[in-house]
Amino acid sequence: MLNFCILASGSSGNCSVLWNESVAVLIDCGCSAKYIVENLASLGIEPCNLTAAVITHAHIDHISASGLNFLLKNNIPVHLHEDTLEDIFRKYGNKADECYSVSFNGGFKIKDIVVEPFNVYHKDERISRTLGFSFSSFVQGKKYKVGYVTDTGKVCKNMIKSLSDSNILVIESNYDREMLDSSFRPYENKRWVLSDWGHLANEDAAHAIAEIKAASTAPDSLKYVFLAHLSYHHNSPELALQVSKKMLYSQDINDVKLFAAKRKERCQAIKIK
């Protein structure tokens, strides 16, 4: 059995939790410590129950100052790529040194959870690398898997392979192109968002979901799909869901339960067993 819940998803903060009977892993820590504690408590999880945290990249909405303090205060080991550690050190200085960090370059385990990182397409002058992850565990020979990508400008074949056979998939569906084109944002920012190193459009997310589903062979693959990191100004939950539902319908895929992750409210907790 594996439990999963998105506590928050968006430019104002990202944080999720994955847990079973023996381990609880926080994925990103971009919200305030107060928000994280309150929402973990609503799931019956205390900070002392957290085994580790895994960080995708060093943007402030994925590792905030308050989130870093939360990790330090509760002595939670933080697993992150060595490039991400350097990015965080440049931002937070010695406070990053105080954190019990576990750097990695390849796959690793957190108790019985197998964590497989893979590169995604999200980079700017503040960060040198962003990662997606798959989290899996085996119980009585059955594999449980969560695929996780919250920030990427495009989806490649390697990402599809890494995310295939996920029971739960979290994938960015950041913006609607027309809404972004007509927005107040400066041209340079729009150009970055639209680039391969920015964020993922609704249509691209929908195509990726269909491709990941087609590449999956395991039972209950993509049973639950969460559209993540929706832009407040250039998207809406209704629009993102509509685009993905239309794509899945056109591919005769009717066994996927779609959700739009919320910015400041935790999503429904999912238990896969």
Domains of the chain: 2-272 (3.60.15.10)
pLDDT at 1: 82
Strands (E), the chain: 2-8, 15-19, 24-27, 52-54, 78-81, 101-104, 108-110, 113-119, 131-139, 142-149, 168-172, 224-228, 257-260, 270-272
Among 61, 99, 106, 60, CA closest to 81: 106
The answer to whether 153 and 199 are in contact (CB under 8 A) is: yes
Question: What are 215's two structure tokens?
Answer: 């590449």
Question: What are 134's two structure tokens?
Answer: 């798959």
Task: Encode pLDDT of 109-157 as tens digits.
Answer: 999 999 999 999 999 999 999 999 999 998 778 889 999 999 999 999 9
pLDDT band (50, 70, 90) for residue 41: very high
pLDDT at 93: 87
Question: What are 227's two structure tokens?
Answer: 């559209």
The answer to whether 73 and 46 are in contact (CB under 8 A) is: no
Task: Encode pLDDT of 161-193 as tens digits.
Answer: 999 999 999 999 999 999 999 988 898 999 999
**R_g (Cα) of the chain, nearest Å:** 17
What predicted TM-score, i.e. pTM, was given to this entire model?
Answer: 0.96
Task: Encode pLDDT of 51-76 as tens digits.
Answer: 999 999 999 999 999 999 999 999 99
